[in-house]
Structure 1
Amino acid sequence: MNNKDLQQLVEEISDSFFGKPFSHSALFNNRLRTTGGRYLLKSHNIEINPKYYDEFGMETLVGIIKHELCHYHLHLEGKGYKHRDADFKKLMKNVGAPRFCQPLPFKQQKQTLQLYRCEKCGKLYKRKRKVDTKKYVCGICRGKLIYIGRDTLQ
């Protein structure tokens, strides 16, 4: 599914469930991480996380679109469009939109650690970020730190 198909789907859902036209843009945003979609107040556009369509399919995508359209139509009408507002809760119940979307499955990424050893006492240091060995010294004996290499955790 591409942005053109998404735009057409959002317009169809808006007409059939809300009885009102959707006259702005709907597009996929790959940068969204923790949310299924978002309604932008200034531009009135809707952005959808494509990972939810890939993982859970069309039914979940339609639910996310309904949720964002609730924000859209209520905001344009000047009614309560926020999650805590009674207008929003009522409209979501009428159209069958979910309040929250299920979380994406967690994909663990390999984490690399930088290894350093003290020249004097031999203390081993593991750090997520590189350390400036000219600036920092051993916390135990004030010895010089030597970069050993990387270690990957899974």
Structure 2
Amino acid sequence: MDDQQLQKLTQQLSLQYFHKPFQHKAYFNHRLKTTGGRYLLHSHHIELNKKYLTEHGQKELEGIIKHELCHYHLHLEGKGYQHRDQDFKALLKKVGAPRFCTPLPTMKKTTRKTRTYECKECGQAFLRKRAMDINRYVCGKCGGKIKEIVKKG
């Protein structure tokens, strides 16, 4: 599927489910990594992730298009178009669009290593995502020196 076919599909889905024309552009954006698509407020265009078509198929892509069309039509009408708005939730339910897209299997969930520090005097534990210079900082509870706890294994 190319951008012209995507444009036609988006216009067709807009008329079929919303009974309103889609008068802007819908196209694939190859730079999208973590989302199925997005509606651009300033230009009213819709960008879609082509990986969802190749990984999950046409039905998943149509669901994403309907989701983005909900943003589109509500924004143009001046109603609540954000995910938290009741207008948006009601329209999603009405047209059968998913609230969230299925995650791509190629997206790996990365777990960040956490570092554990402890006060030498009172034993207060500190969990940090980034390393800290133990010579510059002291315990906030008692003012004692801090040491890093190294996990074995």
TM-score by length of 2: 0.69
**Which residue identity is paired with 1:96?**
G
1:106 maps to: 106
1:36 maps to: 36
Counterpart CA distance in 1 for 2:80 and 2:104 is: 29
Counterpart CA distance in 1 for 2:103 and 2:62 is: 16
Classify 1:104/1:43 alpha carbon distance in 2 versus 1 (closer, same or farther; 3 Å): same
1:8 maps to: 8
Classify 1:5/1:90 alpha carbon distance in 2 versus 1 (closer, same or farther; 3 Å): same
**Which residue identity is paired with 2:71?**
H
Counterpart CA distance in 2 for 1:107 and 1:23 is: 33
| Partner-residue secondary structure (3-state), 1:32 | coil
Count residues with an aligned counterpart: 108
1:135 maps to: none
List gaps (5 residues or longer) in structure 2.
109-153
TM-score by length of 1: 0.69
Counterpart CA distance in 2 for 1:3 and 1:22 is: 15
1:73 maps to: 73
1:56 maps to: 56
**Which residue identity is paired with 1:34?**
T
| Partner-residue secondary structure (3-state), 2:31 | coil
Superposition misfits of 4+ residues, deviation over 6 angstroms: none
What CA deviation, in whole Å up to 9, does each residue of 1:89-122 have, x standing for no partner?
A: 00000000000001101367xxxxxxxxxxxxxx
| Partner-residue secondary structure (3-state), 2:87 | helix
Counterpart CA distance in 1 for 2:29 and 2:107 is: 19
Note if 1:25 corresponds to 2:40.
Answer: no
Counterpart CA distance in 2 for 1:103 and 1:76 is: 29
RMSD: 0.9
Higher strand share: 1
List gaps (5 residues or longer) in structure 1.
109-154
